[in-house]
Structure 1
Amino acid sequence: MSNVLKNKDDVGHILVQVQDDLRQLKNNLVRLTVQENGEVLDIQSHADDYLKTIINQFLTLPCIEEPEKKPAPLPYETIPNTRPLRCQIPGPSPGEKHKSAFIMRLVVTGPALGSFTAAGLPKHLHPKPPPECRDINAGLLASAADLSSVQTPVQPKAVHVLQREDSGQNESEKASKLKMDVSRDGMALGRSATESPASRTSNMTVISKYPVTIVEGQIGPDDPDYCRFKKQYCLYWGAMVEALDQLQRMLLDFAVPLARVCGEQLAACVQRGELDWRDGRGRCTHVEKLLSVLENRDEVWDLMCQPGQRYKGIEGHQAAAVCIQTCWRRYSARTAYLLQLRPKWAARIIAMSPLKHAKLGHLKNSLQASRLCQLENYRIRAESLAANWKHIISAKRTIIHVPSLGYSQHQRLSLRGFDVLQNTQMGRLCDIRDENVKVIYVSPVHLGEDVLQYYTCLLGLQTAIELGDASAPESHCAKRFTIFMPEALENFSTRNMCLALLLKYSPRTLQRIKNLIQRKQAYMIGGVTHIDDLAVADELEVPLMGTEPAVAQLYSTKSGGRRIFSSAGVDMPPGKWDIYTLEQVSLARLMTEHMEVQRWLFKIDSEVGGRGMAYCDVCHLKCHPWAQQEFSRHGPEQWRTSQSQESVMIMFLEEVSHLLPSYAHPANMSCYIFLDTLSLLSISFHRWSDSVTCLTVDLLVEPGGDVRMLSCGDQLRGPSGLEGVGCTVPQTSICPDVLHSICTCVGQACQQRYIMGHISLDLVTFLHPSNLEQQVWAIDLDLGYSNQLAMTQLMLTMTRGTLDCRTSKLEVPSPVRDVKSSLRNARVKTKAQTSVTNRFAVMCTRLLHTNLSLVYYSTFFLMCKAQGIGYDVKARQGTVFALHDSRDRRSLGMLTISEDLQGALLTFARNLSIIHQEISAPNMQGTNNFRDLIKDTEKVLGMTIQNQTTSQEEKEITAPESKQLSSHKPHRSTPN
């Protein structure tokens, strides 16, 4: 075979040599014997027949199935800053190409080679021999089992093996050597063709047997390594030259100084056809495959990925210019396209605007029509409720409590813990103390099993409280209340949405409520009325016992309340309301007209709960002593007509502009005063008087037209003195008749303005320093169900008593004791008149302490039990808690009941002190209002003891006419 390689152009000599080699191989195979089933096969005869059959057949190449298309790897153009260019690289001579093609055709299409490769080709590619040759083929396949790994095209070493080496060797040695060489070379080719990319990567560290070095993108044609590589793979050198050509072009483009090619890896890739895919311009797009044949692949790749490396290679300046021009043309085309697109966009917007406007107008009209329909339905049901009210309150009914705070959006977003704030009225559940009432309570927070179980046990004590026996079985009235939690709580947990809106977006909860109230007498009680309350009531088809949202929004402001007080004819503190501009304030004129006022209050008109308030003392004015002298010289009666009033007002005008920025103090630092919603009020705070008391009265303007007082109590103030956080029930500051007269007038004024439902009235009382007469001023009006009323319902449930606001007494009947009668008969009221006792209660609607969240309710109640904090069912006095939520647990309500006011105040202060000590540490006090409440309670307790002492002394000295005034002397000293 070596002679064939030396004489490249002697084609006839090549054919003769190949035939001689094939004949020698045939002779070797003839001497092989194959035993099958104990018989010896004649290989020679079968071989002659097989060769004759093959020679006489038309040899055709089998069809090649199209391989499965795989995702193309990283193309040549995706490398940063790449632009492949064609360069002159030396290639094979025409003679070499002709020789390679001729040898490949000879190896593939030769007749003798067809019989040789029959054992190595797949079954579906084998030419089927005639039936008489199948036995011969079976024998050949069995004898040449080790030759099955030989693949086409044949390696050059396999051709050398077929050469006649030494004529002196015997035939058996030649055959065995031929078999071993062919098997070894075939297995090597098989491993090269089937190894995975991972194994090829690991083999890159092995020194190549046929390396090729590319320096500056060129291969030296006389390089010994290159010549050995060319000689080794001469049979398919055309494909090898094309792959090297592509690799050289890429290395030239990126100015790679040195690259080392692994010859075996390149040959394997060429044989597998991995480098045959080309683009339309004949370039190889397999950059990754090209780089995989390099021994220093990582170094070359890092160099190619450097910014600007493409422009350092051949024709780099031209590539950079093309890149710049491409970017600029792309930018110019994009800009022109956007300019052309802008008129189209504008035309589309103009065309869509009328459609959107029409759709929005249709939506607004539909929403407005829906709300008008809901309002009409509300009015119709309100008329029906008013007509049948007396029958409804005496029959079985279902009350749907929705404690929703329908504040404006900016108010709701500024309130922290708004969901818990809406749930401070769980005392509404206590309406079930009436046997004809069933309660459906909608909770604005998720209530856990601990809270639900607590209220179930608490309301189940009705029988035990009535009998005065703690061992009595649980009352059946606990089954007459249901608590729902809207499913929209999970979707709008951070939106501070009012409960009515959440219930509106909870169709499953609405449907469950409908099922419960079907064919039953029911009505709905909300909180602060909102437009969504009408939607919920209309969906449930029940009347809403509350005020229309527009009317409630008008009269729930500070200015709206003063308009009602003015029409009711009750006394109010001097001041001005409905202020919308800074020029309307005229504080200097108010200070001049009311020289006796020492402190002025500023209130934001729409704020609630003691928010948005500030105060300023007039004593900081430099001209105030002189103004007081002028006022004292003329007297209160002549001061209004005195000319000195104008000179005092001029002096006030000069100093008021500097007074407010320096000496005005916000009551709550988290709120600010907005001049566009400012309502200026005032209240007299006399330095020589320590008898100012605030109280709250809850009224019910019934649909039938009557006005009832449901609760009345003296307020416990917060640290600012302007916010009520609790109360003592019943009130002891005002004569009950005077209080009833004021409440009746205010209730009738509300009824004339179509205000219906629950309202809360705030009053202030003090003794005038000049004549020591009691003064009562109405200062605020809230439309809605109050926290004080909810705690009062809880108090009445735990005592089984009645609160008579006409006499300001909380009367508790004695426990029913009838041993002979059964438990069922014990629940029936006897005709015998039972004795009653008076009780006093101290209630706080919101006790705030951040450390409460660290203690579970079960642990909290065990702690209270260990410290003696609890409720005595037999004596109907003690402490009861109102739980608000299961998650944060930072707030709760507390109610203490005792036989006298001093005992209730002492129990309240003691409980606060014990709880604070138990849940706090010296280095972790937490944010709370416990200490402020303890101080205020102690102050009230001191004033109560002083009033009782003074009252006893006056009874012994003064006449009966003065006893009435002293008995109703206010006991508070905290100003509003």
Structure 2
Amino acid sequence: TDRVHLSLYVWGFRSDRLEVPVSQAAEMGNRTWIHLRKNRQRMHTPLDHQDTASLYNLQERGPQNLPVQVPVNISKYPFTIIKGRINSMATDFCHFKQSFSLCWSSVVDALEALEKLLRDFAVPLAKVSGERLVEFGHGWDNGWRKAPPVIGLFSVLENWEEVLGLVLRPGQRYKGEGGIDAAAIHIQSCWRRYLAQTAYLRHCRRKWAAGTIAISWLMHTQMLRVRKALQARRFRQLENYRSRAQHLAANWKHTQSSKRTIIHIPSLGYSQSQRMNLRGFDILQNIQISRVCDIRDENVEVIYVCPRHLGEDILHYYTSLLKCDGATDEDDTGTPQASSSSVRRFIILTPEAVDYFPTHNMCLSTLLKYSPRTLKRIRNLIQGKQAYIVGGVAHEDDLAVADELGVPILAPEPAIAQLYSTKSGGRRIFAGAEVDVPPGQGDIYSLNQLHETLARIMTQNIDVQRWLFKMDSEHDGRGTAYCDICYLSCYNWALQEYHRYGPELWNTEWIQESVLLRYLDEIPEWLARYGQPAKTSCYPSWACFLKTFLRQGGVVEAYPPSDSVTCLTVDLLLEPGGEVTMLSCGDQLHGSCQLEAIGSTVPQTSVRPEILQSICMRVGQACLKRLIVGYVSVDLATFLNRNTMEQKVWAIDLDLTYSDQLAMTQLLLMMTGGTLNCHTGCLEVPTPITEKFLKQPPVVNRYAVIGSHMFHSNLSMLYHNVFFMVCKAHGIGFNMKRKQGTVFTVYDSSERCTIGMITVSEDLQGALLTFARNLSDIHQEISPSKMQGDTNFKELIKEIEDVLQMTVQNKMRAVEDKLAA
């Protein structure tokens, strides 16, 4: 035909197809080619940088991951490129150029890019498919040159696999045109990149270090400010405590004789590790709920802070119990009437922080400190009244609570209490009071010191059969272990040496030296093999016990050298005015662990009252000299000396806290309406109503058995009202008219596994029998044959049987002595 279709590309835009004569097509193509070449040089960036960067990427990806797609058809216009140069005079190239002269403008750029690529990589021979090259050129123009055409360039080659393998060969780029410069540039760029990366990483590390140092310094300064603020606040709280304590001491007599409010906070301020290892910590703090019985004094109002929410059943039980106290009113006929005025004089509050920290085992003072609503309510209740706090085991937060309420604390400073409430601190007070203590030594912190001390005191006290090891900061027999000397292989030889020289010469050091050295050699192995913790549930082995013992420090002392040892607890009130008052005294009852008291018989009958009075007064005065006031509990051990057959009394422990025995004694006195006369060793109660017309004395004696830690896992199956119905069916109850019977204390509404029990009778034997019978009846009622449960009822029943047997023997011995006289 005489006309052809011509597509014009101007400035990268494709125009509509034009029909022009053939004679004008060549001239138009040449003009367009020249015009586009000039404009492309102005518009587009060179392809060199794009090609080079793309080929580096190709070398990293590898030939197996290249998306090169080559048509399978055979080319009609092939030509070759030798060493990156096109022979423009070659027949194949001329044929190709002539065939595509009308669209040569779109081919020439691609062809130049292909030549440069082949020269850069020193490709000796490349076979080009003309049709593919033209197709690639059209696609490149239509794509606005946004993507580098390197990958597509390989698709125009017929031997693309051979060329691609050569191009991807490491170092091939540096063999081609400008290879030396490219290598230099690459080396320099890598080195600059390395330097820049190293400098950047160093900068990042320095920046991170500077940030860390800055944050640490800010935290340190903030902690320092907080620490100083806390120290200042605690110092201010301590100063306020001392000021209020002086005022309380100056006005103590007036306070005791006038209306007053006692804020009972039975907090156990143990260390965090001890609190976290105690199961049912809130129940342990609530065992002293009997403190509410202080309202038996008509001038006293009680605010009892409870460590857990009590159910309506428990609140109703104690309300009914306090209405029917022993100090009931009487009508004209002498019939006891319920006293409702006492109910209005006590209130039980639970801090709201109990719900916020259910698993932290915080002591009650700390929970109250973080309970602003409860503190506000207490402030409103005591506004305009004389009030003071009676706490438990001392803690620093006691001062914070007292400062918030603006009331004094009937207790020593926490630092003083922590110093002298340890086993070593108690021995120092007993030494200052000049009372007898077990042979031993405190403040032991190293293994060598333990061995040397033990060898020395064992040599000096050859007759002691058992030695005790007590941790300073533990309680209730948890941190106590023992070791019997009968297992020491050289003991029989040492005993022979003692008998050979006699008691008088034995105290000479040179005589004891051989035994001492022999003891030192054998004690380590003896302790490792035969040392036994008293409560294996706390410390399963001697090694575990010894590790904690040496970390906390402790005491080594002798167990009384007798087969019959009686322990008793005496509760004292060290008044701020300087007087010492005995409030309670009882002989201890033990369970499976002979070093842990779970009950007592009140009043005590093992030591003559005048001897007990003398010991307690000396201990109390020694405490007052060390600024210890408030409630103190003294543990004593009494036994008969085998050589002289005289009674000996050892002071074995000192607790600067309100004891469980004292709390239960308050309930005992509340229910009987009596008084505990520790000077005479009698529990005196008003004469029962049925006996008043028989010309009896105004008071009669009673004996009581107290158990504050009665545990039985099967009790959780019974609600409290069902439990009391079961007890009533077995005749277990308290007779208000006869002033004897059984009274229970309950501590929680959820688990219900722990209870307290008091039995009152006309004589000690009757009280013990009633207590044991009650335990047996309750156990049989709640324990099927296949589900006995975990309990300490059986051990306590066995202990009571032993006490009853001893009581009968003492009575028979007393009768024989009278007959002999």
TM range (shorter): 0.7 to 0.9
Q: How does 1:349-498 map to 2 (within 5 A)?
A: 349-462=212-325, 465=328, 467=330, 472-498=337-363
The letter of the residue matching 1:613 is T
Would the aligned equivalents of 2:292 and 2:302 in 1 still touch at CA under 8 Å?
A: yes
Would the aligned equivalents of 1:464 and 1:472 in 2 still touch at CA under 8 Å?
A: no
**Structure 1 residues 794 and 280: alpha-carbon distance in aligned structure 2, compared to 1, 3 A threshold:** farther
Report deviation, 1:817. Answer: 8.8
The answer as to 2:554 corresponding to 1:679 is: yes
Q: How does 1:431-830 map to 2 (within 5 A)?
A: 431-462=294-325, 465=328, 467=330, 472-585=337-450, 586=452, 587-641=454-508, 643-669=510-536, 670-671=538-539, 672-673=545-546, 674=548, 675-686=550-561, 689-815=562-688
The letter of the residue matching 2:311 is G
The letter of the residue matching 1:588 is A
Give, in whole Å, the separation in 2 of the partners of 1:834 and 1:818.
10
Report deviation, 1:755. Answer: 0.3
Would the aligned equivalents of 1:463 and 1:474 in 2 still touch at CA under 8 Å?
A: no
Report deviation, 1:771. Answer: 1.2
The answer as to 2:789 corresponding to 1:916 is: no
Report deviation, 1:683. Answer: 2.5
Q: How does 1:160-309 map to 2 (within 5 A)?
A: none
Equivalent in the alignment of 2:729:
866
Give, in whole Å, the separation in 1 of the partners of 2:197 and 2:280.
52
The unaligned stretches of length 5 or more in structure 1 are: 1-82, 91-278, 284-314, 319-331, 820-831, 959-976
Kindly provide the CA deviation profile for residues 444-502 of structure 1, in whole angstroms up to 9, marking residues without a partner as x.
11111111111001001027855498883452211210000000001111001100000
Kindly provide the CA deviation profile for residues 217-251 of structure 1, in whole angstroms up to 9, marking residues without a partner as x.
xxxxxxxxxxxxxxxxxxxxxxxxxxxxxxxxxxx
Superposed structure 1 runs of 4+ greater than 3 Å apart = 83-90, 279-283, 332-340, 463-474, 815-819
Give, in whole Å, the separation in 1 of the partners of 2:145 and 2:284.
76
Would the aligned equivalents of 2:609 and 2:680 in 1 still touch at CA under 8 Å?
A: yes
Q: What TM-score does the superposition give when structure 1 sets the normalisation length?
A: 0.62
**Structure 1 residues 391 and 653: alpha-carbon distance in aligned structure 2, compared to 1, 3 A threshold:** same
Would the aligned equivalents of 1:634 and 1:642 in 2 still touch at CA under 8 Å?
A: no
**Structure 1 residues 810 and 936: alpha-carbon distance in aligned structure 2, compared to 1, 3 A threshold:** same
Give, in whole Å, the separation in 2 of the partners of 1:788 and 1:531.
25
Give, in whole Å, the separation in 2 of the partners of 1:658 and 1:902.
46
Which structure: larger Rg?
1
Equivalent in the alignment of 1:55:
none
The unaligned stretches of length 5 or more in structure 2 are: 1-64, 73-142, 148-163, 168-193, 540-544
Would the aligned equivalents of 1:596 and 1:684 in 2 still touch at CA under 8 Å?
A: no
Report deviation, 1:584. Answer: 1.5
Report deviation, 1:854. Answer: 1.5
Tell me the secondary structure at the aligned position of residue 557 of structure 2: strand
**Structure 1 residues 570 and 471: alpha-carbon distance in aligned structure 2, compared to 1, 3 A threshold:** closer
Report deviation, 1:282. Answer: 12
Equivalent in the alignment of 1:896:
759
Equivalent in the alignment of 2:123:
none
The letter of the residue matching 2:607 is I
Tell me the secondary structure at the aligned position of residue 777 of structure 1: strand
Give, in whole Å, the separation in 2 of the partners of 1:371 and 1:541.
14
Give, in whole Å, the separation in 2 of the partners of 1:845 and 1:552.
24
**Structure 1 residues 926 and 84: alpha-carbon distance in aligned structure 2, compared to 1, 3 A threshold:** farther
Corresponding residue to 2:700 among 823, 828, 837:
837
Kindly provide the CA deviation profile for residues 375-413 of structure 1, in whole angstroms up to 9, marking residues without a partner as x.
000000000000001011111111000000111111111
Give, in whole Å, the separation in 2 of the partners of 1:926 and 1:605.
33
Would the aligned equivalents of 1:465 and 1:799 in 2 still touch at CA under 8 Å?
A: no
Kindly provide the CA deviation profile for residues 535-564 of structure 1, in whole angstroms up to 9, marking residues without a partner as x.
000000001110100000000000000000
Report deviation, 1:352. Answer: 3.2
Give, in whole Å, the separation in 2 of the partners of 1:337 and 1:489.
53
The letter of the residue matching 2:714 is N
Tell me the secondary structure at the aligned position of residue 287 of structure 2: coil
CA RMSD for the aligned pairs? Answer: 3.0
Kindly provide the CA deviation profile for residues 118-140 of structure 1, in whole angstroms up to 9, marking residues without a partner as x.
xxxxxxxxxxxxxxxxxxxxxxx
Q: Report the number of matched residues.
A: 634
Report deviation, 1:588. Answer: 1.4
Would the aligned equivalents of 1:465 and 1:815 in 2 still touch at CA under 8 Å?
A: no
Equivalent in the alignment of 1:878:
741
Tell me the secondary structure at the aligned position of residue 846 of structure 1: strand
Report deviation, 1:629. Answer: 1.5
Tell me the secondary structure at the aligned position of residue 719 of structure 1: coil
The letter of the residue matching 2:342 is C
Give, in whole Å, the separation in 2 of the partners of 1:635 and 1:763.
30
Report deviation, 1:682. Answer: 2.1
Give, in whole Å, the separation in 1 of the partners of 2:146 and 2:316.
82
Report deviation, 1:935. Answer: 0.3
Give, in whole Å, the separation in 1 of the partners of 2:557 and 2:323.
48
**Structure 1 residues 463 and 737: alpha-carbon distance in aligned structure 2, compared to 1, 3 A threshold:** closer
Kindly provide the CA deviation profile for residues 716-742 of structure 1, in whole angstroms up to 9, marking residues without a partner as x.
012121111100000000010000000
**Structure 1 residues 799 and 338: alpha-carbon distance in aligned structure 2, compared to 1, 3 A threshold:** farther
The letter of the residue matching 1:482 is I
**Structure 1 residues 615 and 815: alpha-carbon distance in aligned structure 2, compared to 1, 3 A threshold:** same
Would the aligned equivalents of 1:466 and 1:815 in 2 still touch at CA under 8 Å?
A: no
Identity of aligned residues (%): 58
Give, in whole Å, the separation in 1 of the partners of 2:607 and 2:326.
36
The letter of the residue matching 1:668 is K
Bigger drift between 492-501 and 344-353 goes to: 344-353
Tell me the secondary structure at the aligned position of residue 412 of structure 2: coil
Give, in whole Å, the separation in 2 of the partners of 1:336 and 1:449.
73
**Structure 1 residues 707 and 471: alpha-carbon distance in aligned structure 2, compared to 1, 3 A threshold:** closer
**Structure 1 residues 478 and 334: alpha-carbon distance in aligned structure 2, compared to 1, 3 A threshold:** farther
**Structure 1 residues 335 and 853: alpha-carbon distance in aligned structure 2, compared to 1, 3 A threshold:** farther
Report deviation, 1:591. Answer: 1.0
Tell me the secondary structure at the aligned position of residue 921 of structure 1: coil
Kindly provide the CA deviation profile for residues 693-736 of structure 1, in whole angstroms up to 9, marking residues without a partner as x.
10000000001110000000000012121111100000000010
Would the aligned equivalents of 2:328 and 2:339 in 1 still touch at CA under 8 Å?
A: no
